[in-house]
Chains A and B, each alone.
Chain A
């Protein structure tokens, strides 16, 4: 039995079967890379893992217990970075990050925020209103959340979009450091992250739609 496990997952969004019979298993220090074309369900699977979406069938367990059992505890142990950056344009860069970091920790820790901004190259921009940031900088601000407060499980949905090569390298280092400390990561990517030792899950190859079933 692995630490983070999903079995026989059926995902239905709207009236559409996104994927069926998907499973995964991850332990401390392991990473899973999700591959597949657009619409294959990478984002949906990440949302299932986060608990934002409930599977129509199947279970997702953490340490043997369903993640639906205790949503507060589940939320505490994960970081989710989706397609959107959750950046408020009228607040400064550091205010943006400080809010999310404090919400996760339950208290304000300014040095952690500063360190996270520095890691992602935003230290000089800390007092700038976020509306002035470029798309890549906003992405880095969103990713800085990963470092600003601790969490065991990182769920990243195409994190490298809008990032230049240097930033991708920083992200890769951060992920490797996180894995090295025993953290887990599930990343939907189109291929450039190259995390060592990561296992693959290709949602295109897995059974996606059973049209015959749907039409009876």
Chain B
């Protein structure tokens, strides 16, 4: 098994043994999504208008919840030192952890999103685009969020601080993801919005691990 796969498998094993984590993000996603009809009223016309936005905003918040402990646990028990000293470059370690985080949190959200969209009365011709947009957006959220998680390792009030740092960086992904779904429900082409999302993912894949690794090295100094 390659070292990269070893770390991913290790993270997955830890998550399943420790419990919580992913199911927490999923639970929050569905619960917070369900709050909107309770707050705004069940009228299908209004709900279907905001469905795409609600799905992506809650997915964004749920992803952020799952990121809080991305590096903090390892930092506290000394594992982060050892990961930084492994033969695998720290950037690859970060990427492996992001992949594990996505498998544990992003992937369940990906499959729960169309369900949430349905109960929020999203027009059914938007569902496939919703799935595609979530598929492109959730890995980007994990990657960009990892930068925030790396910067706040060992900080006071790390969780709240993480939100403040990371939510502005999520905004472009949010805008284009919702735009894609809205275009699909209005029988317009979602292509340019999905391309933008793909572009964000392509940029985040090399750049986010690099920035996060830099931040982790600072934490270990």
Contacts and interface: CB of A to CB of B under 8 A. Distances in A.
Given A80-B85, A103-B86, A104-B86, A88 B3 contact: no
Nearest to B87: A76
Interface in A38-61: 50-54
Contacts, number: 68
A108 interface: yes
A65 to B, nearest CB: 17
B77 A91 contact: no
A104 B87 contact: yes
A103 B14 contact: no
B17 A91 contact: yes
B78 A84 contact: yes
B77 A75 contact: no
Contact of B85 (A13, A78, A106): A78
Contact of B78 (A71, A86, A99, A104): A86
Does more than half of chain B's interface fall in helix, strand or loop, or is it mixed?
helix
Looking at A76, A78, A99, which has the most chain B CB atoms within 10 Å of its CB? A99
Given A102-B1, A103-B3, A85 B77 contact: yes
A18 B84 CA distance: 23
B160 interface: no
- Which bracket fits the contact residues of A? 20 to 34
A19 to B, nearest CB: 15
Contact of A91 (B13, B85, B88): B13
Nearest to A91: B17
Given A53-B221, A99-B6, A107-B1, A86 B81 contact: yes
Given A84-B78, A90-B17, A102-B1, 8 more contacts: A50-B85, A75-B86, A80-B85, A88-B14, A88-B77, A91-B14, A95-B13, A99-B10
Interface of A: 13, 50-54, 71-72, 75-76, 78, 80, 82-88, 90-91, 95, 99-100, 102-104, 106-108
Interface of B: 1-3, 6-7, 10, 13-14, 17-18, 76-79, 81-82, 84-89, 220-221
